[in-house]
Each structure stands twice: as structure tokens, then as C-alpha cells.
Structure 1
């Protein structure tokens, strides 16, 4: 009897899985492709520990975002608006909108580059096609078709993982050197800067905003008797989804370490594709490009949904995801139409994101620790670790900004 009840409990928890896999898309965007390939190509297995550490921090931050949605039945932007004055709320929305645009630039650029290497399509047309396809996917979000939306995004995540795994198998990275890369170490100033970029850009603002909304949309405002079971399922959901995302990111790094170490031109996505195709064969280059395309499509779709969550929560309006799609996508297409170098556009977008990360982590942790808001005390050890993670991420983003402007 106990076994039957336990099996029923496990099935209920598994049925609650899904929101974290959607949020995890933020950790598989084209920016991650560029950073991880560069790290492996330039420094071999040296910075694997950074991917592992970044993933562990992301798990905690994403849990706090999901937890606040479960306990309050509200999104993080709604709670920020509720505890802010009107001028602060408007100012916060402006910066969040700028960050959303910067996020979309990186994702649309990634999709456009993938289409260019796959079909020879000009970058601007690749950007337009990326926006069009992601908009079509976004139509599924909400209402009776929301489960279809989640299925499409999760399928994309699985295919991204499959494409990278295929290349890892072809590259044949060294298991011994991979394990040695788990030891925290650097090899001069450049490796420190790259590690700062990898760690500092781990937590994306839209991943936090959207996670609080995803659990709110999935579970609504639940009673205290249900909260513990949902939080337990959420912890497993986050652990599994971030393990998948972390494995893909680690796979990119060991792929580059095993096959591209010392190869020139891997500091751009186009160059990384060309190097992979040259070293591992055309099928490997095709698999990488398809994974990059799916990364751009999935991440820009989820990013647009996050923009809707921010817009509606902070301004207390009911704007549709399609409307916010235009707000974030049009600037990205215009920038590429002006013939701005795609790699330069990616770098600038990451700099803008660096400014936005502290502005989401601080209210997230502050509200999570507020018993009056959540109705539930946050474990002091969890709070202390969260504060340390936030401080580390903020410091590394500052370091990344300094390094970027100094170069």
C-alpha cells in the first residue's frame, strides 16, 4: 500500500515537470555557444570548472525565482511593482525593456548566422526569417495551446543537446583531461577574463522573470498544503533541466577542447562553424549549425514571452506576446539592416545584459527573504549562499564590463 502511494506521489511530481525546461532555454542561447566554444578552443579543458560552478549557481537562482511564483501566485515583476513607487516602477520597466532588446539581439543574431552558414542566406534575411518562425511558435503560448508551446520548446532543447552530443562523440575529448578541468585554475589574464564572461553572464534576467511566471501559470495560487509538494517537484524539475543545460554547455567546451584547441577564427560563431566542419567533417558542421539555429529560435521565443511578463507585471497592462515580439525584435533587425558586424552586436548585447543582471538579482533575493511577501521563511543557509552567488555574479559582470571597455 505504501509503495502504491509512493508511486502515485512520484507520478504527480513528474506531471508537474516542465516550467524549468522552458526557463533553461536561456542557458542555451547563442551567447553560450560563442563563449563556450571560445573557451575550449583557446584554453582547452582548463575552464570546465567554470561551467560546473555556473550551473550550480544557476540552479539556486532559478529555484528562488520559481519558489516565489509558487508561494505568492504572482510573477516577480508584479511583486516588484507592488513594492515600488510609480517613478521607480517606470524606471525599472525602462531598463528591463532595454535588457529585453539586448537579449533578443543576441538570439536573433545567432539564428541569422545559423541560417547564413546553412543556406547562404544574407544576415538580414536570416534575422527576418528567425523572427518570423519564432513569432509563429509564440502564437502557441497561452490558453489551450500552451502545452503545445512547451512541447515545441522542450523538443528544441532536446535536439540542441543531440546536435552538440553528436559533435562531442566525433571530437573524442579526453576523459582524463576533462576531469582535470574540474579543478579551479587559470592560465593568465585572458583566461580570467573569459571565465568572468562565462560566470558573469550565467544568469539572464529573462530566465528569472519567466520562471516565476511559468510556475504561476502552471499552478496558480495554491494553498499551503500543496506548496511543499510543488516545491519538491520544482527542485527536481530545476535539477534535471539545469543538468541538461549544463551538460550541453560543458559539451560545447570539451568539443572545442578536443577538436579545435589552437585553431584560429573560433572567436566568432561563423568561424566556430567553419572550424568544426573543417576538422570534424561537414556533418558535424551541419549538426552545429542546426543546433545554433534551434538555440536562436527557442531562446528568442522564450525571451519574447518573458518580455510580456515584464511589461504586464510592471505596467499592470495586458499586452500580448506578439506585441512584445515587435518591441524586442524590430531593434534587432534594424541593427543588422544597418550592417553592424554580427559579432560586435553580440558583444554589445552582452554588455547591456551585464547592467541588467544586478537589477533582477537584488529584488529577487530581497523578496524571497521577506516572510511577509512569501508567507514562508527562507532557510538562512540558502539565503547566505544566494547572496554570495549574487555578489559573485555582480562582481564578475563589473569585471567583464571593465575588460570590455578597456580592450
Structure 2
């Protein structure tokens, strides 16, 4: 859905101080939801329960990677007035674009599977509703969130930001309950180390889940015509303010992920419990702290799943329109993406196994988002003054090799 663009000159003329920043806040919060989906819950809880605070530094590193990747995506939209799939359509042959579209749709379905099942699992754990009926309720609520679009993206941004705030609140309460050791937290953040091959593989899982293909595609679409400028100076100023939006959103997402690991370390690892299943985690919260703690955990899982699934649906629309210039009603798209998780739950597939399956599919899609992003943001004729600097380009390629390599490693591990 397109909205009327705001000219930067209008903002500069009519707003002063912190009010000048407000129009730029929002897009990164929608993209950041991808970094707190149910897959992150599973990885962080496992890492904290098995290795304590040791892998906190990996989450910090992952967040810095996300900051760079999402800033490049936002920058592409600002500089070109187009999103990543649209730029790809103009620069790649038609068969390549159709391939990118098809794999993108498969990635969206896999993403939606993980997030949908996570939300349904949250309902199941909190209210004791069977997974299938919880999945149907999740589907209905996800339509309500998408309805916010009809009021404009600003309403959707406010809705998503509000949901993220509830997740922050839930884990703030959990931190209060578990009373983690501050010295161990600091040591885990700033003293990189591993403890055997398994800890390296788990770290690979945390970093590998950092770059979500659909978030890259979507972010460039959210910034492409939100606020426009005519001069090089105006475009630089727009990116400067949008980067602040990204910084705030990634900081919040990073803190949530750190809190997940810290809570698991303080509660489970300290008692010698290795928890690698979200259902088991819920019941352990109930057993070790009480029903209120379990409720906050289940609620956070539910909210994260719902908000993430809505973002996945939006991303699918951007991918289809961009790569092949075709579109279907977004509610029809929502119905299509609801069918796979309903079938999986209906056939009695274990929710955690389904989450693992979705991560396998996601591993295939990462390279097809991050490599074109780096290529296009490094082209002077496309980006103008916002083109990647040498150090940005170098870091981006290092990250691309690292993330794609780690995902291939995890893929190999899961299959063999």
C-alpha cells in the first residue's frame, strides 16, 4: 500500500527539535520484528540454558550485523525510490527474477510457518486451547493486525511498536523474577569465548538467524517513498534520520534477545537444566517461579508470533510486485500462507520440529537477499552520494560470507 510521500523540506521548515525526528520513526520497527520471532526464542533459550551467559557476545555481534544490513536496505530505498526486488527486476534477466520471486515466496511461507506456529503455541500454553484451534484463532487475529494497513502504514507501525513494547515488558518482568548475576552478564557480553563444538554450532544458529530475507526486502520498500528529497544534501539528511530509527529498533530487538538468554541462564543453567523446547521452557517457568512468570513467557511468544507473521505477509506482497510486477489481494495472500501451518498442526507434527524445518528453508534464501543488496548499494550510478563506502562494502561482504557459510553449516548439520 502506497501513501503520499512527505518532502524533507516540509519537515525541515515546519518542525524543530525532536519533533523533526518523529516522521522518520517506524519502518525499522516493522523490520525489527523479524529479529524477535519464535525462532529466536528457541535459539536463545537453548543457548542460555546450556551455556549460561557465555554466548551473550554472539547476540551483540548479531545485532551489529543486523544494524549494517538493515541500514543498507533502508538506504537503497531512500537513494533510488525503489525497493530491492524492483531494482533486481531492472538489472537481472527475466528468468532470474522469476527464480528470485519463487524462492522468495517459499521463504515467506517458511517464515510464516515458524511465526504462526509460535503464536499458536503461545495460545496453547497460556489458555490450554488445542494447537489446531489456537492456530485458527491466530489466523483471525493476524487478519485484524493487517487491517491496520487500511488506515495507513503509520497505524501499522504504531500497532507493531506497541506489540514489541509488550514483549519488552514481559522480559523485563522475567529479569526481575530471575535476578541474573550482573558480573556474569558483563563477562558474557564482552569476553568472546566458546566451550566445545556444540557451542560454536549454537553460536552459528544465533548469527545465522540474524539476516532474515523478508526483512531486507521489506525495509527497502518502507523507506522508498516515505520521505523524499531533491538534493544530495536532503537525501543524506533523510538517511541520517532513518539510521536513527534503525539504531533504536535494533537496540530494542537486541535487548529482547539478550534478555531471553539471560533469563534462561539465570533460571535454567544455574540449576543444571538444559531446555531446548519452548513448551518445556514454559512449564519450567511455571514450576520454578510460578504461573505469572509462565504467563509472561507465553504471552511474549504469542505477541512475537502474531506481529512477525503480519510482517511476513507484507513482505510477500513486496516480493511479488517487485520481481514480477504482479499482485494478489493481501488478505488472499494471508489465507494462502495460513494453510501450511494449519495442515502441519492438523496432522499432529511437533511444533518444535516444524520450527526447525522452517529454519532449514530459510537458510536457502539468505544469499538471494543479501548478495543483491550489497551489489546494488555499491553501485555509484544507482546510489549517488549514498553509495557504500569501501569500509562498508568490505564489512558487508565479510558478513555475507560469514552468514551464508554459517547457514550452510547448520543446514548440513540438520540434514546429516
Q: TM-score, normalised by structure 2?
A: 0.93
CA offset digits 1:218-259 (Å, max 9, x no partner): 225755342111100011111111000000000000000001
- Contact conserved, 1:141 with 1:149, CA < 8 A, in 2? yes
Pick from 198, 202, 211 the counterpart of residue 206 of structure 2: 198
Are the structure 2 counterparts of residues 217 and 286 from structure 1 closer, same or farther at C-alpha, using a change threshold of 3 Å?
farther
Quote the residue 2:391 is aligned against: 381
Q: Does 1:308 align with 2:323?
A: no
Maintained 8 Å contact 1:24/1:242: yes
Matched, 1:181 2:209: no
Pairwise CA distance, 1:180: 1.1
Aligned pairs for 1:39-54 (under 5 A) are 39-54=47-62
Measure how far apart 1:40 and its partner are. 0.3
What do the CA deviations read for 1:326-374 (whole angstroms, capped 9, x no partner)?
A: 2322112112212111111000100110110111000000011011222
Aligned equivalent of 2:289, options 280, 300, 311: 280
Counting only pairs closer than 5 Å after superposition, residues 121-132 of structure 1 correspond to structure 2 as 121-132=129-140
Matched, 1:12 2:20: yes
* Cα RMSD, aligned residues only: 1.8
Equivalent-residue separation in structure 1 for 2:145 and 2:307 (angstroms): 9
CA distance in 1, matches of 2:251, 2:55: 18
Aligned to 1:347: 356
Q: Which runs of 5+ in 1 are unaligned?
A: none
Offset of residue 65 of structure 1: 0.3
Superposed displacement of residue 217, structure 1 = 4.5
> Do the aligned partners of 1:265 and 1:271 also contact (CA within 8 Å) in 2?
no
CA 1:222/1:314 → structure 2, altered by over 3 Å: closer, same or farther? farther
Structure 1 counterpart of 2:239: 231
Say how many residue pairs are matched. Answer: 402
Preserved CA contact (<8 Å) 1:153 1:298: yes
SS at structure 2 position matched to 1:161? helix
Tell me, which stretches of 5 or more residues in structure 2 are unaligned?
Answer: 1-11
Aligned counterparts, 1:244-283, within 5 A:
244-261=252-269, 262=271, 264=273, 266-283=275-292
Q: For residues 7-406 of structure 1, what are the structure 2 equivalents within 5 Å?
A: 8=16, 10-142=18-150, 144-182=151-189, 183-219=191-227, 223-261=231-269, 262=271, 264=273, 266-376=275-385, 377-406=387-416
Q: Structure 1: how far apart are the matches of 2:145 and 2:195?
A: 43
TM-score (norm: length of structure 1): 0.95
* Structure 1 residue 9: Cα displacement: 5.1
For the 8 Å contact 1:13–1:229, the answer to whether it is kept is no
- In structure 2, C-alpha distance between the alignment counterparts of 1:91 and 1:138, rounded to whole Å: 27
CA distance in 1, matches of 2:60, 2:140: 35
Instruction: Give CA-to-partner distance per residue, 1:162-218, whole Å, 9 cap, x none.
Output: 101110111111110111112111111111111110011111001111101111252
CA distance in structure 2 between the partners assigned to 1:222 and 1:26 by the alignment: 32
